[in-house]
Amino acid sequence: MLIETHCHLNDRAFADDRGAVIGRALAAGVEKFVEIACAAPEWEPARSLCAAWPGKFACAYGLHPEYVKDYRPEQLPELEKFLADPTAAALGEIGLDYWWEPERAEEQRAMLEAQLPLSVKYGKPVVFHARNGKEPGQDAYAALFARLKSSWSYFPPGRRHRGVLHCFSGSYDDARSAVGLGLAIGVNGSYTYPRNSDLRETVKKIGLGSVVLETDCPYLPPQSSRGKRNDPSFIPEIALAVGDGLGMSAAAVAEKTSGTAAELFGLQG
Ligand SMILES: [Zn+2]
């Protein structure tokens, strides 16, 4: 079994062939999907998508730091409605992005603060986004970890992880901090990029026990398809690449990472 832990299938990139894309992924062995709805206009379409594929799809609902300029506190009660919906598996993706708008770091932090307590209130794990800035010292990972350490009190009973740091692009030390905070690491097609030897080394050192697979589609296809639209049917290729890096079979990677993902998001078999 394979689980796609991070897709944006409601993106307009899939407007013409969404059903066919999902069918292809299912045929490729991807059995479950976590759809990420991280802007207010995405919440209802994502809920509908989940409802249309019972047992296959679950949703993360939240407000992405990249959309901070559209953030209004009045959106939070609406977000709560979606977190209370049976389709909700997680809060997210939320976090800090210093790459595009480091000058809005304070606003992003406030938006993160406003959302984090909802994971406790609704008993949901969190999908985190963190991206460092272009200048040295613009460390989104350090800022996120500091916040989580100081006052994120969600501890799901009986689960090993309380969230995932998706599209991991930090250092080995960041990965260790994340795992220490009860987060899994989301690995996607960027693992296969030639320049990403640091990530491959980090995954090797961290071990597969805290890794989940994702595509982040429509962005970040594996190296074999750079420049094209990404979609969840690439999950087996990512499993194969991670297996290559670790000297394991793709099947073993699939089993281990899917077990972690199913437990993290509370997905039933
Ligand atoms: Zn995403």
In the chain, at which residue ranges do the beta strands (DSSP E only) sit? 2-7, 30-37, 57-61, 88-97, 126-131, 163-165, 183-187, 211-213
Asked whether the beta carbons of 63 and 128 are under 8 A apart, the reply is no
State in Å: Cα 93 to ligand 1 middle. 7
pLDDT band (50, 70, 90) for residue 269: low
Over residues 13-34, the pLDDT tens digits come to 999 999 999 999 999 999 999 9
Cα–ligand 1 centroid distance for 215 (angstroms): 9
Q: How far apart are CA 240 and CA 257, in angstroms?
A: 12
C-alpha to C-alpha distance for 14 and 26, rounded to whole angstroms: 16
- CATH at 52: 3.20.20.140
- Which pLDDT band holds residue 57 (cuts at 50, 70, 90)? very high
Q: What is the C-alpha to C-alpha distance for residues 266 and 269, in angstroms, rounded to an integer?
A: 9
**CA 188 to centroid of ligand 1, rounded, Å:** 11
**Averaged over 83-89, what is the pLDDT?**
97
* Cβ atoms 232, 217 nearer than 8 A: yes
DSSP-derived 3-state class of residue 70: helix
Strands of the 57-61 sheet, one edge to the other: 2-7, 30-37, 57-61, 88-97, 126-131, 163-165, 183-187, 211-213
At 268 the pLDDT is: 80
pLDDT tens digit string along 152-184? 999 998 899 999 999 999 999 999 999 999 999
Residue 167 CA, ligand 1 centroid: distance in Å: 8
Distance from Cα 173 to the centre of ligand 1, integer Å: 23
Ligand 1 mean position, distance from CA 47 (Å): 16
- Tell me: the pLDDT tens digits for 201-247? 999 999 999 999 999 999 999 999 999 999 999 999 999 999 999 99
> How many angstroms separate the alpha carbon of residue 166 from the centre of ligand 1?
8
**For position 34, what pLDDT does the model report?**
98
- Domain interval for residue 99: 2-265
Alpha carbon 188 to chain centroid distance?
10
Which pLDDT belongs to residue 153? Answer: 94
> Minimal CA–CA distance to 38: which of 72, 73, 75, 67?
67
Q: For the chain, how many structural domains are there in total? A: 1
d(CA 126, CA 61): 9
Show Cβ contacts of residue 29 under 8 Å, excluding neighbours closer than 6 positions.
Answer: 1, 2, 235, 236, 254
Report the percent of the chain where pLDDT is more than 70: 100
pTM over 0.95? The answer is: yes
What pLDDT, in 10s, does the model give residues 108-158? Answer: 999 999 999 999 999 999 999 999 999 999 999 999 999 999 989 999 988
Give the whole-angstrom CA distance, residue 259 versus residue 255: 6
